[in-house]
Amino acid sequence: MRTVLYLIRKEFKQIFRDVFLGKAIIAIPIVQLLIFVPAVTLEIKRVNLCIIDRDMTSYSRGLLEGIQASGVFRIKQLTLAEDEAYSLLNSNKSDMVIHIPLGFGKDIGRGNPVKIMVSVNAINAMSAQLSWVYLNGIISGMNMDIALENIGSLLPTNLKQVDVTHRIWYNEMLNYKHFMLPGILTILITVIGMILGGINLVKEKEIGTIEQINVTPIKKHQFIIAKMLPFLAISLMDLAFGLVLGRIFFKMPFVGSIGLLFLSATLFLIAILGLTLLISIYSHSQQQFLFVAFFFLIIFILMGGIFTPTDSMPLWAKRINLFNPMVYQMRITRMVMLKGSGLIDIGKDLLALLTIGITLSVLAVRGYRKAV
């Protein structure tokens, strides 16, 4: 135990002697949280419209007023020329073209079905789909108003309707920052553990100081533990720092157990650092390590459920995610912070993180060779 403590003290001295590492440990949490959380969002806040209104009646004006009053859509251009409208769509100056045909209001007054043409710029499929959902909701509301007007003033009370009420749980204000911040925190501790921890070991290889350790009677597991614990502690401190920043700047709620979150983060970091040291052992330069580390990091982030739900992924991707520690940590972080989930709720995810962490750490110990 004393040997491990001496090695850990050596690691901390080496870390804070490096100017880059010292600054990165402080700067990375601030940059990630204050920039990425408000910037990375899938919310649709402004959709630019081009309107072709060939009807020019009170019904068409009412539809346009309802669309603009939603706060999502903004009418940028009114025209009667289709070529001009679709030119704006092709040049990305308009996100959607709404074509209201002649006779729109007359057909509504007669009770005849009417159609409008909507052309959507779907380069960004997610934005296009959400924009169409918003627009469809507005049109459905207009249809209901017209139906009630046509029925008469006495009959609507006898009209059988399904009255739907809803209650939003865990994120009542639908604040997207509260959804993204746990994901950014998970990326934060992953970057600290994987990139900085791996560079530290590979740098020792490049400058040759690791050879001095290789000729000592230090055991392999002592060396690996000493390499893991400093960056484990630093990552947990950055997690705490990130939680404080999230609370101050984004009013991030935390309804669960702080101890449970740090327990899961510890198991997660053991898995990440085990993989990091395993890659570092077989890397001969920082460039080699960074190439392989970024390969795994990108896979972890894009498939970890931070930006897209894992349930919507194909079966083969779900099977790959069984070995992705970020999937489990991402789910635990959101459940603990937003839902207040307990140990029973996240027990399976904790067990998966423990299994992955032990496996990767054992592989790192077995892969390390003291002979040079």
Q: Does residue 155 surpass a pLDDT of 70?
A: no
At 103, which CATH number?
A: 3.40.1710.10
Which range is most confident: 99-103, 168-172, 263-267? 263-267
What is the distance between the alpha carbons of residues 73 and 67, in angstroms, rounded to a whole number? 6
Number of domains in the chain: 2
Could you report the per-residue pLDDT of 243-254, keeping only the tens digit for each? Answer: 999 999 988 999
Cβ proximity of 223 and 7 under 8 Å: yes
**Residue 114, CA distances (Å) to 15, 60, 100, 254, 339 in order:** 70, 12, 10, 50, 45
Shared-domain flag, residues 207 and 299: yes
Shared-domain flag, residues 182 and 274: yes
- Out of 104, 131, 158, a domain closes at 158
Shared-domain flag, residues 323 and 217: yes
pTM of the model: 0.81
Shared-domain flag, residues 142 and 223: no
Shared-domain flag, residues 113 and 203: no
Shared-domain flag, residues 68 and 96: yes
User: Band of the pLDDT at 260, cuts 50, 70, 90?
Assistant: very high
Shared-domain flag, residues 358 and 323: yes
Strand-pair category, 73-79 with 47-53: parallel
- The residue type of 356 is I
Q: What angle do CA 259, 260, 263 make, to 5 degrees?
A: 85
Shared-domain flag, residues 282 and 321: yes
Shared-domain flag, residues 222 and 362: yes
- Out of 127, 158, 189, a domain closes at 158
* pLDDT computed for residue 141 by the predictor: 81
Shared-domain flag, residues 25 and 104: no
Within-domain flag for 81: yes
Cβ proximity of 240 and 320 under 8 Å: no
User: Band of the pLDDT at 166, cuts 50, 70, 90?
Assistant: low
Q: Half-sphere exposure of residue 18, counting CA atoms within 13 Å on the CB side?
A: 16
Shared-domain flag, residues 32 and 110: no
Could you report the per-residue pLDDT of 175-222, keeping only the tens digit for each? Answer: 888 888 998 999 999 988 888 888 888 888 887 777 777 777 788 888
Residue identified by tokens 């491990």 is 4
Could you report the per-residue pLDDT of 270-286, keeping only the tens digit for each? Answer: 999 999 999 998 888 88
- Out of 103, 136, 158, a domain closes at 158
Q: Does residue 44 surpass a pLDDT of 80?
A: no
Q: Half-sphere exposure of residue 274, counting CA atoms within 13 Å on the CB side?
A: 22
Within-domain flag for 93: yes
Cβ proximity of 304 and 318 under 8 Å: no
* pLDDT computed for residue 165 by the predictor: 63
User: Band of the pLDDT at 7, cuts 50, 70, 90?
Assistant: confident
For the chain, the residue count is 372
Shared-domain flag, residues 359 and 279: yes
What is the distance between the alpha carbons of residues 100 and 188, in angstroms, rounded to a whole number? 49
Of the chain, the percentage scoring pLDDT greater than 70 comes to 94
Within-domain flag for 166: no
Residue identified by tokens 């669960």 is 256
Q: Is 370 exposed, middle or buried (0-12, 13-18, 19+ CB in 10 A)?
A: middle
Within-domain flag for 164: no
- Structural domain range at position 71: 47-158
CB atoms inside a 10 Å sphere around CB 269: 29
Within-domain flag for 163: no
